Each structure stands twice: as C-alpha cells, then as structure tokens.
Structure 1
Amino acid sequence: MTERPGSDRPEPSTGEGNSGEQPSFGDVAGAYAARAGVERKDDGQIDVLRSVGGIRGLAEAIVPGLLFTLLFTLTSGLYLPLAAAVASAGVFSVANLVQKRPLMQSLTGVIGVVICAVVALRSGSGTEFFLPGFYLNAAYILAFAVSIAVRWPVAGLLFGFIRGENVEWRASRKRTRAYALATWIIIAVFGLRLGVQLPLYLADNVGALGTMRLAMGVPLYALGLWLAWVVSRPLPQQNP
C-alpha cells in the first residue's frame, strides 16, 4: 500500500528475501497484532469507532451488562437479569452468523457473559456478575507491564504494524520509549477501572458498579486507545 501524503505511515516491509527462514517472535506477534482490530482512517488518524467494532461492537459490549444492571435493580433477582444478559449476547452471535460477519468478538462476548452468569449463580450475589472482569483487567495490567519490561510494549505491536513500522521501531530508543508510554496509558485505563470499581464491589452496590462498568468500558478504552495512538505518533525525520 502506498503512503498517503501527510500520514505517518512508511512503506510496509514486504518480508521478501526471508523465504525459508523460521518466523521470528516479531513475525508471530505481528500476525496477531494485525488481527487486533485497531483501524485507521484515510488521513492517518486512528479510527476509534471501527477499532472497538463499530456500532455493532459497542452494542455487543454494552447491552448485556446494561440489561443485567437494569433488571437486577428493578427485580433484585438473579435469574431474569442473567438470562437477559446471556440471551442478548447470544442474539448478537446469531445475527453475526446469519449476516456472515466475523464471529470471534461475539463468541468471546457470549463466553464472557456465561462465565459471569455462572459465577453470580454459584455465589447468589449480583455483584459477583462483575467479578471475572476484575481478574481480566488485572491480567491485562500484568501482561502489558511485562511487555514493557521486556522491551516489546503491546502498543508497539498493535500500532507498529498498522503504521508499517513492523517491529523496526525496536531499533530506535525513542520509538521504543514512545510505545512504552502508550502502553502505560492503556495500563492506566485498566488500573482506573479497578481503582473505581473494586470499592463498589466490596460495598455490594450492584447499581453503581454496573453503571461504572458501562461508563468505564468501551468509552474509556476508546479514549485510552486514542491517547496511546497520539503520544506514540512518529515525529518527522526522527532518528534513533
């Protein structure tokens, strides 16, 4: 793909001349990052809406938790809210299957909602519906921090391949530091979620916890993703 004037995207490496070589860690990481869903517009800016799955992706992320929170607040029972959450996630998967859209996000969402429902049913507490999310955020924090420690910051793997840098940014200390900072921004999103929502969980406040989970879900992640993209943008004629 040729470079558009004014964008920060250099010509991507074709990988020619490496035939017969074993794929490196960077090749494997790049293949994963290329499927991570981060998108950019024609003007070179990140397309936040497409990166979180578009309107459909927003709905898939928001609706199950919203239904659970509303119905639990109204009924104080578990069965109806949990059934509604699981059913809504299933509907999105079926719709994607019928429309021949990618199923990975929907299936992941269904599995996540089912796990949350099982945990809540076993405990008999509505707040437990949100418990698996805490472990997931903590796991992301740990994984992203480790990626910085080993000089493979996740933001570099996501954005580097979109910008056509592949893993060549690792040869530049400035670029590596920029992507480390971008990764810390995303870590801050996960940390902020835990810092705000854990006290609500401990207080057994389902309504407030559900509300904050929605507010600090896709919208906050999208903001963090955009900020990470901006701070890691290459400067013109940047030298290692």
Structure 2
Amino acid sequence: MGGVSGLLYSSLPVVVFVLANAFFGLKAGIWSALGSAVAITVLRIVRREPLQPAISGFFGVAIAAFIAFRTGSAKGFFLFGIWASLVYCAVFVVSILVRWPLAGLVWNLLNGTGTAWRADKRSRYGYDVATLALAAVFGARFIVQRWLYEADYTGWLAFAKIAMGYPLYGLALLVVVWAVRRSDKRLKELDEAGAYQVTGSASSP
C-alpha cells in the first residue's frame, strides 16, 4: 500500500484542492490538485518507485477535477470516489454470493496458488469474511461521504476521504491477512493428511 509515503501521496492532492479552493476559488483548486498529482508522479518516477500507482493516482485526480469543473462545485471533486465506493461494495458482495470471494480470488491469483481454496469450505468461509470486511469499508465510505456531499460539507468530505482511505482500508486488510493465514494453514494440513494416507495405503500389505 506504500506505507506512510503512500498515504501522503494519496492525501496531498485532496488537501491541496480544499485549501486552494477555500482561498483562491474552484479553478485554482482544480489546477493545484492536478499540479500536485503531476509532481507526485514525477517524484515517483525519479525515485524509481512503482509507476502503476502513480499513473492510476494521477488519472483519479484528473477525473475528480474534471467532474468538479463540469459541475462548477468544489464538492464535485469527491463525486467520482463516492460512487466508485458503491460499485466496489456491490462487486465484493456479489463475489461472495456467487462463491468466488474476491479476497481469495485476487490473493491466490497474484500468488499463483490456484483455486484449491474454493474446494475447502473453511478456507472459502475465511475469504468470505475478508471480502465482506472490504465490502463494509467501501459501503461505509459511500454512506458517510454521500451524506456529507448532500449536506455541502466540502471540508469534512476531504477529511472523510483521507480518514476512510488507507487507514480504514488497512484495517480491512488485517482481516484479509487472517483469512490468508487461516487458509494456508488449513490447506497445508489437508495436503499433509492426503500425503500420509497415500503413503499409508502404499505401505499396507
């Protein structure tokens, strides 16, 4: 997730936008946010940090800035993130309902460990819980930030976006870590038990 630097990178354009908008107006806020996003991207390139987060972060700010420009309202800067949270929440919930919890699918796909975890109910249950935790994070983001948006609390929107970003997401990832360790331990036990049974049957007269 990038640690402290990742938190700063994701928070800086939001803080810059709110401050510039408060003191100099919406257009200044938009250009300041875009400028800070470009500066962060260049910095990450110079420091030879992973480029994908920098690019996705820049496009995220660009989309938010475009919506703010089109709506003519500072709170429009947060509209894309609000509705994206609802979409993410729905996707996570649906993945549980179709028995392909995304926490397990993504983790095992990235690590090339296959889909053996789906055949074990305990492993799948753990990933269901982890996926539900992630869905809860995005659902909470949508509910709280949507309410702040409707109430025209732009400053509080910025605070909520930061506070409910990496910090809250990090808590959900602790549940993911629990599910991964639980599943790995379970599958290892099943594998060893299977190996023992094969060995035992082979050695019997």
TM-score (norm 1): 0.72
Answering whether residue 42 of structure 2 is matched by residue 94 of structure 1, we say yes
The corresponding residue for 1:151 is 99
Q: Residue 129 of structure 1: CA displacement?
A: 0.4
Q: Residue 95 of structure 1: CA displacement?
A: 1.6
Structure 1 segments unaligned to the other structure (5+ residues) = 1-51
Aligned partners of 2:82 and 2:142 also within 8 Å:
yes
Aligned partners of 1:65 and 1:210 also within 8 Å:
yes
**Aligned letter for 1:197?**
Q
CA distance in 2, matches of 1:229, 1:101: 24
Aligned partners of 1:90 and 1:110 also within 8 Å:
yes
CA distance in 2, matches of 1:55, 1:166: 32
The 1:102/1:162 distance shift into structure 2, 3 A limit, reads closer
**Aligned letter for 1:86?**
L
Alignment of structure 1 residues 1-240 onto 2, 5 Å: 52-75=1-24, 77-160=25-108, 165-234=113-182, 236=185
Aligned partners of 1:181 and 1:232 also within 8 Å:
no
The 1:168/1:233 distance shift into structure 2, 3 A limit, reads same
Aligned partners of 2:41 and 2:55 also within 8 Å:
yes
**Aligned letter for 2:141?**
R
Q: Residue 96 of structure 1: CA displacement?
A: 2.0
Structure 2 segments unaligned to the other structure (5+ residues) = 192-205
Q: Residue 187 of structure 1: CA displacement?
A: 0.3
**Aligned letter for 2:157?**
L
CA distance in 2, matches of 1:129, 1:101: 27
Residues 127-174 of structure 1 show CA distances to partners (whole Å, capped at 9, x for unaligned) of: 010000012111211221222122211110233357775321011011
Aligned partners of 1:73 and 1:207 also within 8 Å:
no
CA distance in 2, matches of 1:221, 1:233: 19
Q: Which of these two proteins has the greater Rg computed from alpha carbons?
A: 2
Count residues with an aligned counterpart: 188
Q: How large is the Cα RMSD of the aligned pairs? A: 2.1
* RCO comparison, higher one (Cα < 8 Å, 6+): 1
CA distance in 1, matches of 2:105, 2:54: 24
CA distance in 2, matches of 1:91, 1:126: 22
Aligned partners of 1:159 and 1:229 also within 8 Å:
no
> Which one has a larger percent helix, Structure 1 or Structure 2?
2
Q: Percent identity?
A: 37
